[in-house]
Structure 1
Amino acid sequence: MTFQPLMDSLQQMNALYANLIELGERKKEQVIGNQLNDLTQTLSQESKVIKSLTSADQARKQALIAFQQEAGVKADPNMRLEDVVKHCTSLAQKQALQSVSTELSGRVRILRQLNETNQQLVRQALDIVNHSLDLLVGSPEDEMVYQNPGLSASHAKRNSYFDTRA
């Protein structure tokens, strides 16, 4: 009866991926809304879920090895779920594994797309911040041009609120 622990671990992973998707959507809204304090809390929650996902994956690997041993198959903790289905004895087990496999694949695909979107949003936010700083402080290219030290003493280098030497 080693099938049930395998299904339990897969269902737990499925729930954790659903939680990550929810947190990813929240992150997206927080980045768009520039809610940095809330974003920090969401990142902390996401980190906890990822730790839980790591332990759930370890449980899945152990349950998979036990299932493989019972089925008389060579132990491979990285065996794909499609291959595990082939070693199930009952139709109900096969259908349950296929269902969980489909759900997991869909959630992973959604999570990847969401992470790509969030990465693009963060890059755009950083570009906006860098552009705003360049407008306030002046672009770094302005300082890279050689000027005669005797002539530049009479001109103010920058007219800004920030001390760039700090």
Structure 2
Amino acid sequence: MALTTLIELLERLDEVHIQMLDLAATKKQAIMENKVEVLIDILNRESKTMKLVGQLEEQRTQAAYAFLQGVGIRSNLNLNLTELSRLVFDPEDKSRLLQIQKKLSGTLHHLKEANELNQKLIEQSLTFIDYSLDLLVGRPNQEMTYHHPSDKGSNVYRSGLFDARG
């Protein structure tokens, strides 16, 4: 009974992570097309989905503890799925548990890759925006007024790409 609940929660977690993967693909497109409104909407949906993931994770932890107590282990061990599968003796249940573990692991791996790609795209977009602003406005260290060439002490140079002084 507790194992069935645990497997169902793992399947639900996989479904939610697949939704996050779909959101990541939509986010990638929004970043590439520079659609800020769509990006904000996606971020709000991601936030709601992450809250759901947190709730499911909490339920999964409780189901794992219930399973451990069902097999006679009274301590609250924080075992991973491979370790839990060693305590399952029914071959069919063990197979289901290991199958969902493999599926969830693959989904999480794809989600991690998608998030890393989106992060790189955002960094490139910010770099491009900064470069474009520099082309339009000019570098802050380029003075608009005349200074004698020997007077080099008054120049202000930027320390990096983004100027936090506002």
TM-score relative to the length of structure 1: 0.84
Q: How many residues were matched structurally?
A: 148
Distance 2:41 2:142 in 1: 39
Distance 1:65 1:129 in 2: 50
More helix by share: 1
Residue of structure 1 in register with 2:160 after alignment: none
Distance 1:42 1:18 in 2: 15
- Identical-residue share of aligned pairs (%): 31
Structure 1 gaps, min length 5: 152-164
Secondary structure at 1:139's aligned position in 2?
coil
Within 5 A, what are the aligned runs for 1:1-166?
1-73=1-73, 74-76=75-77, 78-143=78-143, 147=147
> How far off is 1:137 after superposition?
1.2
Q: Which amino acid aligns with 1:45?
A: R
Structure 2 gaps, min length 5: 152-164
Q: Which runs of 4+ in 1 moved over 4 A?
A: none
Q: Which amino acid aligns with 1:75?
A: N
Residue of structure 1 in register with 2:157 after alignment: none
- Root-mean-square deviation (CA, aligned residues, Å) is 1.9
Distance 1:84 1:92 in 2: 14
Distance 1:13 1:100 in 2: 10
Q: More relative contact order in 1 or in 2 (CA 8 Å, sep 6+)?
A: 2
Distance 1:17 1:44 in 2: 16
> How far off is 1:139 after superposition?
1.1
Q: Which amino acid aligns with 2:99?
A: S
